[in-house]
């Protein structure tokens, strides 16, 4: 527990100042987190099958390149070029022709890496876009995630009786799911209404925030399902007491993706 608390304090001390500073420092942080997330997805894949080193290096370089292309973007439209997407597809698909004893690489590996790379790039680039557009918007989304996760844990611990998805995450409960969503909605809605826009329709704001709180928890389950598939408890041990980067950012990734879909409503 002490290790977990210490890690949480260190993460807060690093993340919060860079969040408020924004710009290049926050971009560097997001790039490092994106690299770590890609590393974790590659690592769990290698629980079943090794991926050639050259392919892994290319993956990491493409994560960095994608961050450089979009670090100062503040428009809510996806601008990853078709050239870059085409390059990603070709660079991972063509090596399946080079099978040898030293390079056992097939279409399943290629599609896994294409999907992982696009997913990681889109998710972390959108976090940068939201931060560049409005610090308060990103704080609103972080409040949804943090408060929902925290109170889902507390509610589930004290009054949780009915399992939510026992085959995926045996400790999550329906009571925790509801309690987390309600408290996350209350805190984040209050912040949005008092800090961002007090003229918005409360009904629309509440419904939107509830939707995002629910999506965040479903995103947590999606990542839990991935871990189940590969037979691991955590994506990595990069954060002592907490697991990996994706273990901590699973909810915010899905919240940010869902927010882009509904942001026109608020």
How sure is the predictor about 166, in pLDDT bands with cuts at 50, 70 and 90?
confident
Indicate if the pLDDT at residue 255 is higher than 90. Answer: yes
The pLDDT value given to residue 245: 93
The pLDDT value given to residue 145: 96
Q: Does residue 102 sit in the same domain as residue 211?
A: no
Least confident of 28-37, 59-68, 82-91: 82-91
User: 216 with 145: CB under 8 angstroms?
Assistant: yes
Polymer length of the chain = 266
The pLDDT value given to residue 75: 67
Question: Averaged over 60-69, what is the pLDDT?
Answer: 87
Q: Does residue 13 sit in the same domain as residue 107?
A: yes
* Residue 98 DSSP SS3: helix
113, 133, 153: which is the final residue of a domain?
A: 133
Ramachandran area for residue 104 (φ above 0: left; ψ -120 to 50: alpha; else beta): beta
Q: Does residue 166 sit in the same domain as residue 126?
A: no
Indicate if the pLDDT at residue 144 is higher than 60. Answer: yes
133, 153, 182: which is the final residue of a domain?
A: 133
Least confident of 150-154, 220-224, 240-244: 240-244
Indicate if the pLDDT at residue 82 is higher than 80. Answer: no
* Residue 236 DSSP SS3: coil
In the DSSP assignment, the letter for residue 166 is: T
The pLDDT value given to residue 80: 60
Q: Does residue 116 sit in the same domain as residue 29?
A: yes
Question: Averaged over 207-230, what is the pLDDT?
Answer: 93
The pLDDT value given to residue 180: 94
The pLDDT value given to residue 181: 95
Query: What DSSP line would sit under 177-234, residue for residue?
Result: HHHHHHHHHHHHHHHIIIII-TTS-HHHHHHHHHHHHHHHHHHHHHHHHHHHHHT-SS
Q: Does residue 142 sit in the same domain as residue 240?
A: yes
78, 113, 133: which is the final residue of a domain?
A: 133
The range of the structural domain enclosing residue 36 comes to: 1-133
Q: Does residue 35 sit in the same domain as residue 100?
A: yes
Q: How many domains does the chain have?
A: 2
Q: Does residue 210 sit in the same domain as residue 84?
A: no
Q: Does residue 96 sit in the same domain as residue 119?
A: yes
Q: Does residue 115 sit in the same domain as residue 174?
A: no
Task: Say which residue, 184 or 72, is predicted with more confidence.
Answer: 184
Residue 56: in which H helix or E strand, if any? helix 53-70
Q: Does residue 205 sit in the same domain as residue 259?
A: yes
> ∠126-127-132 over CA atoms, to 5°?
95
Q: Does residue 111 sit in the same domain as residue 158?
A: no
The pLDDT value given to residue 105: 84
The pLDDT value given to residue 100: 58
CA pair distance 124, 41, nearest whole angstrom: 15
CA pair distance 14, 190, nearest whole angstrom: 26
The pLDDT value given to residue 160: 80
Mean pLDDT of the chain: 88
């Amino acid at each position: 527990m002490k290790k977990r608390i210490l890690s949480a304090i260190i993460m807060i001390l690093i993340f919060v100042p860079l969040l408020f500073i924004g710009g290049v420092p926050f971009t560097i942080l997001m790039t490092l987190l994106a690299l770590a997330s890609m590393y974790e997805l590659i690592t769990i894949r290698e629980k079943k099958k090794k991926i050639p080193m050259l392919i892994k290096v290319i993956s990491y370089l493409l994560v960095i390149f994608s961050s450089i292309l979009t670090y100062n973007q503040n428009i809510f439209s996806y601008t990853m070029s078709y050239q870059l997407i085409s390059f990603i597809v070709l660079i991972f698909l063509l090596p399946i022709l080079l099978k040898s004893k030293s390079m056992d690489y097939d279409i399943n590996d290629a599609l896994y890496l294409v999907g992982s790379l696009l997913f990681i790039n889109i998710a972390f680039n959108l976090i940068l876009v939201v931060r560049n557009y409005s610090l308060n918007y990103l704080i609103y989304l972080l409040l949804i995630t943090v408060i929902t996760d925290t109170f889902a844990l507390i509610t589930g611990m004290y009054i949780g009786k009915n399992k939510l998805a026992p085959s995926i995450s045996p400790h999550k409960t329906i009571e925790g799911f509801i309690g987390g969503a309600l408290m996350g909605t209350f805190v984040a809605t209050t912040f949005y209404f008092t800090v961002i826009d007090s003229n918005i329709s409360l009904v629309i704001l509440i419904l939107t925030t509830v939707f995002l709180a629910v999506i965040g928890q479903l995103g947590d389950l999606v990542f839990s399902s991935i871990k189940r598939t590969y037979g691991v408890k955590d994506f990595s041990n990069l954060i002592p007491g907490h697991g990996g980067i994706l273990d901590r950012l699973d909810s915010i990734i899905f919240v940010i993706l869902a927010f882009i879909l509904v942001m026109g409503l608020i």
